[in-house]
Amino acid sequence: MLHHSLIECISGYMFAHMKPGLGFLHLSHNRLRADGVHGMSFHGLRASLAELLLDHNHLQAIPRGHLGLKGLQDSNLISAHLENNLIDQRHIIPTAFSCSQASERGPPAPAGEEGS
């Protein structure tokens, strides 16, 4: 866990040497900005990373390093927390989290409206 560590940037290939990888990466409550996350920051974690916590930072966009987790549908990523940042939700591309089964089906129907 690297939360509350005043981290401002994550270099490319920072976690690539970790075998078999990381299941959880907690980077909450730091000073990360989107331009401080290299496009290859999370390289090597696609097969192992299940939870990525980036909440309570200074992010104005989804970090390029997160988008570098190409083929998310083949990854183990279950949860990515980005709340309490400066991200304008209108600028998040619809496929940014296409690995989520819920996003493929759309939002769940309100109770009592299923199958109607």
Q: What are phi and psi of 74, to 5 degrees?
A: -100, 10
Please check whether residue 91 lies inside any domain of the structure. yes
- Tell me how many domains the chain contains: 1
Question: What is the pLDDT at residue 102?
Answer: 40
List average pLDDT for each run of 10 residues in the chain, which is 116 residues long. 92 89 94 88 86 93 63 70 90 66 40 49
Question: What is the pLDDT at residue 4?
Answer: 95
Q: Is the peptide bond before 20 cis (omega within 30 degrees of 0)?
A: yes
**What's the domain range around 19?**
1-104
Please check whether residue 83 lies inside any domain of the structure. yes
Question: What is the pLDDT at residue 34?
Answer: 83
Please check whether residue 109 lies inside any domain of the structure. no
Please check whether residue 112 lies inside any domain of the structure. no
Question: What is the pLDDT at residue 79?
Answer: 85
How many Å apart are CA 77 and CA 49, to the nearest integer? 5
Q: What's this model's pTM, rounded to 2 decimal places?
A: 0.73
How many Å apart are CA 84 and CA 57, to the nearest integer? 7
Q: What are phi and psi of 9, to 5 degrees?
A: -150, 155
Please check whether residue 111 lies inside any domain of the structure. no
| 56's tokens | 């309570």
